[in-house]
Amino acid sequence: MMVSDEAKAVHAAYPAVDLHADTLMWTRWLGYDLHARHTPPLPWAALGGHVDIPRMREGGMAAQFFSLVSLPLRERGAGLARAVDEQIDALVEAIERRPRALRLVKRADEIRACEDEGQVAALLGIEGAHALEGDLDRVAHFARRGVRYMGLLHFSANEAGFPAYGRGRDDERGLTAWGRDLVARCEDASVLVDLAHINRRGFLDACAMATRPPIVSHTGVLGVFDHWRNIDDAQLRAVADKGGCVGVIFYPRYLGGNGLEPVVKHMLHILDVVGEDVPALGSDWDGFIVPTSPLKDPTGLPLLTEALLAAGVHERVIGKILRRNVLRVLEAG
């Protein structure tokens, strides 16, 4: 698929912001270099090696949210919170090596400043409140280190609640009292609440109590494809009602097919149900997924802009999907 001059112009006007990539997990485990351009050898190409600064620049990206992953089974005895700190340390080291290329930021105006300076902006989010190890005071600690969103759940139950799928799943139980305290602590610390992976009841509980916009960093929608990982229209409305945004994942297994068309269908459904202020990018690059072929790494993002134009999405709305919805939530949260 070729990229038209019109799509190139639109894409250049709205440098993209993606809500979720697990790249720092690979940096911590394998020494993956953010500054080097990678062509991952098989079989790793199916699992990671999707994101680096050269390809982010080529794909017209302004900023990437790097998710901080701690796996309860893998990290047992080593410290879940320490695993998060070590990933932040890895990012800090990458920035110190080439500060003119990469900068850790928290705010929308800082992303714009990075663009002016020719830097790529890095933001941080934690995937799963198990990383706090039951200590709510760690919210402030991680906020001071640059964390901008907190995912309440991942693939296992924790003190906050229960996953949509995974160890300890319980669809009948919602956000715990500790989870409610966590939402309040996050809002106090200007840490966005991320509702990816949490079960439906906990999702709606968190939205009901939210006083700041929540996000869903990476997901599909049930209105397009029936899968446990995807969220329904009521969940979309709950996020929209609080001014939040929803990042569409690039994983064919959750989208219902490979290629750009399924990605666009999920975005169009969000537009139809809750309007243009909600959809965003939530790739899940480097997250043990095989991304949809045209979006196997950031260099394919102009193809997504082309596909959205071909689907009749207005340039102004594409700008919201690529970046402006996320920037608005950052400013409000």
Closest-CA residue to 160 (of 125, 133, 192, 188): 133
| Torsion, Cα of 3, 112, 58, 60 (10° steps) | -20
Q: What is the pLDDT of residue 46?
A: 65
Give the pairing of strands 16-21 and 61-69: parallel
Query: Tell me, what's the pLDDT at 39?
Result: 84
CA–CA dist 54, 325 (Å, integer): 25
User: What whole-number distance in Å separates Cα of residue 251 and Cα of residue 18?
Assistant: 14
**CB-side neighbour CA atoms (13 Å) of 282:** 26
* 156 closest CA partner among 242, 77, 70, 214: 70
Cα torsion angle, 38, 44, 46, 51, sign: negative
Per DSSP, what are the bridge partners of residue 192?
A: 149
∠ at Cα 42 (57, 18), nearest 5°?
A: 30
Say how many C-beta atoms besides its own lie within 10 A of residue 8's C-beta: 14
Query: Sign of torsion, CA 238 241 244 247?
Result: positive
> Whole-prediction pTM value?
0.96
| pLDDT score recorded for residue 41 | 62
pLDDT at 162: 98
Going residue by residue through the chain (333 aa), what tens digit of pLDDT does each one get?
Answer: 789 999 999 999 999 999 999 999 999 999 999 999 998 665 556 678 999 999 999 999 999 999 999 987 665 556 999 999 999 999 999 999 999 999 999 999 999 999 999 999 999 999 999 999 999 999 999 999 999 999 999 999 999 999 999 999 999 999 999 999 999 999 999 999 999 999 999 999 999 999 999 999 999 999 999 999 999 999 999 999 999 999 999 999 999 999 999 999 999 999 999 999 999 999 999 999 999 999 999 999 999 999 999 999 999 999 999 999 999 999 997
Which residues touch 29 (CB under 8 Å, ≥6 apart)?
A: none
Per the omega criterion (within 30 degrees of 0), is the bond before 302 cis? no
Backbone phi and psi for residue 11, each to the nearest 5 degrees, phi listed first:
-65, -40
Domain that holds residue 311: 5-332
Give me the CATH number covering residue 223.
3.20.20.140
Rounded CA-CA distance 186/148 in Å is: 9
Number of domains in the chain: 1
Beta-sheet pairing, 245-248 with 102-104: unpaired
How many other CB atoms sit within 10 Å of the CB of residue 127?
Answer: 28
| Burial annotation 57-81 (CB, 10 A radius, 16+ → b, else e) | bbbbbbbbbbbbbbbbeebeeeebb
DSSP letter, residue 320 = I
Q: Tell me the C-alpha distance between 257 and 253, whole Å.
A: 7
Sign of CA dihedral 120, 59, 271, 279: negative
Q: What per-residue confidence (pLDDT) applies to 81?
A: 95
Q: Which residues pair with 161 in a beta bridge?
A: 158
Give the closest residue to 185 by CA, choosing from 152, 161, 162.
152
